[in-house]
A and B are shown apart, each in its own frame.
Chain A
Amino acid sequence: MTRPVGNCPNCGAKIVFQWSSSVQTVCEHCKSILVRTDIDLKKVGVVADLPPDVSPIQLYTEGVYRNRSFVVVGRILYQYDQGGWNEWHLMMNDGNSGWLSDAQEEYAISFRASGEKLPAETQLQVGQTYDWNGDVFNLTVITKARYRGVQGELPFEYWDKSEVTFADLRTASKKFATLDYGDADPVLYVGEFMEFDDLKMKNLRQFEGWR
């Protein structure tokens, strides 16, 4: 899927390039040598390309988180200066809402949580530590992101915000937390990083050429 595709200008057959900036390929049908004209050659060897931002999760994907099964019912696409990520809205089998974030195929499950003394947006500083529900969280990243799009059902009203601040907090283990400053008051989400295999997901998006 990182292989750019096109149509042969001579015969119209589908052509594929080996990698993102590969300039040359051969049409399997008519054997013409085809050269890419949309690559900035000044960047070759100098600047990397960015891989396309395509999540393997889609609406109605099913999975399991620690013995609780879920269905994906909604989606928020975020974008920031270094790329984007997806927040998939989950309907858990007990009726609660959960979130599955997919940031370049790094997956994390989180749920809305309550915490004491949540800092205001102006008080945020990388390196601060907080004690919530018995875990020590270390503030690692502050991100300003924009909404790029939504899909499906979401548990709150979505309206066009120009920019939302998120604070990422990590612990010594796979547990993590996010502070969402979209509303007037910060909202805390607590969760953990998960391996793709552990979520046992079904009805995922199919990619051509991949199983």
Chain B
Amino acid sequence: MSSVTPPSEGPPKAETKPLNCPHCGAAITLRALGQAVVVVCEGCRSILDAQDPQLKILQTFQKAMASDPPLIPLGSRGKIRGTEYEVIGVQRRSIKVEGIRYLWHEYVLFNPYKGFRYLTEFQGHWNDVVVCKDQPIVDARLSIPLEANYLGEIYQHFQTADANSDFVLGEFPWQVRVGDQARLTDYIHPPRVLSREKTGSEITWSIGEYVYGQDLWNTFHLPGSPPEAMGVYENQPSPVGADVKAIWVVCGAFLICLLALMIGFEMQSKKENVFSVRYHLGSGDPTGEASFVTDVFELSGRTSDVQVTTWSDLQNTWIDVNYALINVDTGRAWDFGREISFYSGYDSDGAWSEGNRTDQVTVPSVPSGRYYLRIEPEVEPLHPPIEYTVELQRDVPVYSFYGIGFLALILPMAAVTWRSFSFERSRWSESDHPPSPIFTSSEDDS
């Protein structure tokens, strides 16, 4: 049996030559200006000849790098999911969809124990990607299945396109070359994305999770800010959270509680008829200052409201009734004026009527005690005989608050649902399955 020791392993060896000033050998300053590298000697101020072989290497290299400098510099280290990784390579790829080229970058991250993972970046949207160990399940009968099942979750088909490698720097686990082509299919289940890559006859599945640029900038200790994320990315998490339906369930529960509140208060409200008197104003009676006071009556129970109803079967006239509900003992009064009117007649369109013969007003938070009403009616000068009735009810539910409560519960839900709806529309508008336009143009194609 022959025993062959494997070749010695360690970091690759580099061959180098120094960049020296040919005149004085002093320190060299390097400045990169766009695609050029300019070298000035600090000591003797001579500018290094561009024919210097080392300088030529730097110039050529700078030209290649300047065309697409990586956002995360190669050699950067940062922690992803508790493990430190080093960025060792980057490539730029592009797809063409309906005549438009979209390009994105893929960074290779390496840890000597844990292996490789990838960061993809498209228009400011980042994803943390690894190759799948479990195989997703798809319906093999279809050429492009619309769903994939991975670890029990269903992913929806988002896009299929042919990708081209446009630019590559550093190391990749397989030898990427500019011009390499692959058929890419993405399936989404936000915040995750399942990617299928077919090169030749080999198929590789990867699983990615959306990550935020700022978190990457923090962990890789990069200066400045990450590029701003444009638009909505395929697996970008929705700002309202995964489940708008769950919030609607909470809303439904609240609406049921509101209903229960309404029924509960309705049932326990006294709606006690405290006072009901009919008054008479004969025609020609004084038009104002005919104020009078009622008998004293009792308002019982806890501090609650008082509903005052004014009604009269008016015919083509009006009556203003000024009220003061006065507490006999405390001298506190609630002051309010109400008006009722009714007009009717016939014209070319038929019968018409206008006005309201009944008015209801609710006096708020009236403590229990002994009260009377001071009433001052006001009528028009030549008024017909008027009979009007004043009624008081103690502890009546105020239904308008339930209306306000209903709106208060529904409106934020509507806003959240609309936000989620338009977010998802934005997401899918970039896919192979864009949503149909909400407002279709009525113009014909010419």
Which A residues fall within an 8 A CB radius of B? 1-6, 8-10, 15, 17-25, 27, 31-39, 41, 44-54, 56, 75, 77, 82-83, 104-106, 126, 141, 148-151, 157-160, 170-174, 193, 196, 204, 207-208, 210-211
Q: Contacts A36-B15, A104-B115, A151-B5 given; 9 further ones with Cβ under 8 A?
A: A3-B11, A37-B17, A41-B57, A41-B64, A49-B170, A53-B9, A54-B9, A82-B174, A83-B173
Partner pick for A105 among B13, B19, B115, B178, CB 8 A cutoff: B115
A19 touches B112 (CB 8 A): no
Taking CB atoms, residues of chain A closer than 8 Å to B67 are: 45
A6 touches B64 (CB 8 A): no
B54 touches A2 (CB 8 A): no
Report B344 CB to chain A, min CB distance, Å.
81
Q: Bound complex: CA of A34 vs CA of B5, how far in Å? A: 34
Report A31 CB to chain B, min CB distance, Å.
6
Interface string of B288-308 (1 = CB under 8 A from A): 000000000000000000000
- A to B contact number (C-beta, < 8 Å): 211
Report B22 CB to chain A, min CB distance, Å.
14
Interface string of B1-32 (1 = CB under 8 A from A): 11111110111111111111000000110100
CB closest chain-B residue, reference A41: B60
Asked if B168 is an interface residue, CB under 8 A from chain A, the answer is: yes
A4, A32, A33, A159 pick with most chain B CB within 10 angstroms: A33
Taking CB atoms, residues of chain B closer than 8 Å to A44 are: 60-61, 64-65, 169
Report A183 CB to chain B, min CB distance, Å.
15
Q: Bound complex: CA of A208 vs CA of B86, how far in Å? A: 13
With A23-B58, A46-B168, A149-B7 known to touch, is A104 a contact of B116 (CB < 8 Å)?
yes
A35 touches B16 (CB 8 A): yes
Asked if B352 is an interface residue, CB under 8 A from chain A, the answer is: no
With A4-B12, A157-B1 known to touch, is A46 a contact of B177 (CB < 8 Å)?
yes
Taking CB atoms, residues of chain B closer than 8 Å to A150 are: 2-4
A105 touches B6 (CB 8 A): no
Q: Bound complex: CA of A19 vs CA of B168, how far in Å? A: 13
With A36-B16, A48-B89, A150-B4 known to touch, is A172 a contact of B168 (CB < 8 Å)?
no
Asked if B349 is an interface residue, CB under 8 A from chain A, the answer is: no
CB closest chain-A residue, reference B137: A172
Which B residues fall within an 8 A CB radius of A? 1-7, 9-20, 27-28, 30, 54, 57-58, 60-61, 64-65, 67-68, 73-75, 84, 86-89, 91, 110-116, 131, 133-135, 137, 167-178, 201-202
Partner pick for B73 among A18, A21, A37, A172, CB 8 A cutoff: A18
B17 touches A48 (CB 8 A): no
Report B58 CB to chain A, min CB distance, Å.
6
Q: Bound complex: CA of A153 vs CA of B358, how far in Å? A: 105
Q: Bound complex: CA of A160 vs CA of B167, how far in Å? A: 40
Partner pick for A173 among B27, B110, B134, B201, CB 8 A cutoff: B134
A19, A22, A48 pick with most chain B CB within 10 angstroms: A48
A22 touches B75 (CB 8 A): yes
A37 touches B57 (CB 8 A): yes
Taking CB atoms, residues of chain A closer than 8 Å to B30 are: 24, 33
Partner pick for A193 among B10, B20, B116, B133, CB 8 A cutoff: B133
B177 touches A47 (CB 8 A): yes
Report B12 CB to chain A, min CB distance, Å.
5
A51 touches B171 (CB 8 A): yes
Q: Bound complex: CA of A93 vs CA of B192, how far in Å? A: 40
B173 touches A51 (CB 8 A): yes
With A19-B88, A34-B19, A35-B57 known to touch, is A6 a contact of B13 (CB < 8 Å)?
yes
B11 touches A52 (CB 8 A): yes
Partner pick for A48 among B6, B60, B84, B171, CB 8 A cutoff: B171
With A36-B15, A141-B202 known to touch, is A149 a contact of B5 (CB < 8 Å)?
yes
A21 touches B13 (CB 8 A): no
A1 touches B112 (CB 8 A): yes
Report B433 CB to chain A, min CB distance, Å.
27
Q: Bound complex: CA of A96 vs CA of B71, how far in Å? A: 50
Taking CB atoms, residues of chain A closer than 8 Å to B68 are: 45
Report B15 CB to chain A, min CB distance, Å.
4
Partner pick for A22 among B74, B91, B134, B167, CB 8 A cutoff: B74
Q: Bound complex: CA of A173 vs CA of B34, how far in Å? A: 51
B19 touches A2 (CB 8 A): no
Report A182 CB to chain B, min CB distance, Å.
14
A-B contact pairs, 24 of them (CB 8 A): A2-B171, A4-B13, A5-B12, A6-B15, A6-B16, A9-B18, A19-B169, A24-B58, A32-B20, A38-B14, A44-B169, A45-B65, A45-B178, A47-B175, A47-B177, A47-B178, A48-B91, A48-B171, A49-B170, A50-B173, A52-B12, A83-B173, A149-B7, A204-B113
Report B151 CB to chain A, min CB distance, Å.
10
B11 touches A35 (CB 8 A): no
With A32-B18, A47-B168 known to touch, is A2 a contact of B2 (CB < 8 Å)?
no
Q: Bound complex: CA of A46 vs CA of B91, how far in Å? A: 10
B11 touches A1 (CB 8 A): yes
Partner pick for A126 among B20, B75, B116, B201, CB 8 A cutoff: B201
B84 touches A210 (CB 8 A): yes
Q: Bound complex: CA of A46 vs CA of B17, how far in Å? A: 24
Partner pick for A31 among B7, B27, B171, CB 8 A cutoff: B27
Q: Bound complex: CA of A33 vs CA of B58, how far in Å? A: 11
Partner pick for B3 among A22, A82, A104, A151, CB 8 A cutoff: A151
Q: Bound complex: CA of A211 vs CA of B113, how far in Å? A: 9
CB closest chain-B residue, reference A5: B11
B133 touches A52 (CB 8 A): no
Taking CB atoms, residues of chain A closer than 8 Å to B12 are: 2, 4-5, 20, 52
A50 touches B171 (CB 8 A): yes
Report B192 CB to chain A, min CB distance, Å.
18
Report B6 CB to chain A, min CB distance, Å.
4
Taking CB atoms, residues of chain A closer than 8 Å to B13 are: 4-6
With A31-B27, A50-B172 known to touch, is A3 a contact of B17 (CB < 8 Å)?
no
